[in-house]
Amino acid sequence: IVANGADKGLTLPDMVRKYKEDLVGEANYARFGNKFPLLIKFIDAKLDLSIQVHPGDELAKKRHNSFGKNEMWYVIAADQGAKLISGFAEQITPKEYKERVYNGTFADVLQTCAIKPGDVFYVPAGRVHGIGAGAFVAEIQQTDITYRIFDYNRKDRDGKSRELHTSQAIDAINFADVQDDFRTEYEQVQNEPVEMVASPYFTTSIYDMTEEITCDYSELDSFVIFICVEGSCR
């Protein structure tokens, strides 16, 4: 919700409807209309969060008349031992996937990565992923569909399990997505933009600033979002 100025009190969707391409850019408005195309969250996980996967645009359009969801994490802070789950540690079959979800061993075949501040993970649609306890991340993503696969066999106070989307997710999962480390490497340089992730849905750069920087976006047909992850700025 807009905090101050002439548009105080308007929501982000209100702003898109009011300003259209003047706010989000001509190409974005033609592509997404009045729906703001990104969602940004700060996630401060006190427990291991559920394992998820997101469908790509094609499957999401077919099933939900929606866009898919590609996302990324930037680790702002991490408790000792904090981890992120991204992709598979070994290749499994769709049949084994279902068996492991039902017998509670699905997490055993996932790639678990110890994390530190500044780590970056790009999570394309189809990559199984989860946020572990003690991780504090900025999550930048498309705004749409999530399938919850596995919730560590947890029950609520009434003894019920959370709803899972095991069968729906099987068509979305990239079962060949096996790597030793899914971290996105980038160079750390002060006082100039360093691109971390470039995708068809968003481009993310980091500025490690010790002095004033001037950015000229006059030729850019898009909105720009700034997130302060450490220190302060005006």
Residue 100 annotated among the catalytic residues of the structure: no
Query: 3-state class of 145 per DSSP?
Result: coil
Considering the candidates 17, 63, 100, 148, report the single residue annotated as catalytic: 148
Ramachandran angles phi, psi of 38, nearest 5°: -125, 155
H or E segment to which residue 21 belongs: helix 21-24
The CA radius of gyration of the chain, in Å to the nearest whole number, is: 19
- Could you give the CA distance from residue 71 to residue 162 in angstroms, rounded to a whole number? 23
What amino acid is encoded at 16 in this protein? V
Write out the DSSP string of 148-169.
EEE-TT---TTSPPPP--HHHH
CB 162 within 8 A of CB 148: yes
Structure tokens belonging to residue 203: 């481009």
Strand ranges for 56-127 from DSSP E: 71-78, 83-88, 110-114, 120-123
Structure tokens belonging to residue 149: 């696969």
Taking CA 106 as the corner, what is the angle to CA 87 and CA 177, rounded to the nearest 5 degrees?
A: 20
**Sole residue written with tokens 């990324």:** 72
Residues whose CB is less than 8 angstroms from the CB of residue 35 and which lie 6 or more positions away in sequence, other chains included? 13, 16, 143
Ramachandran angles phi, psi of 101, nearest 5°: -65, -45
**Catalytic residue positions, numbered:** 148
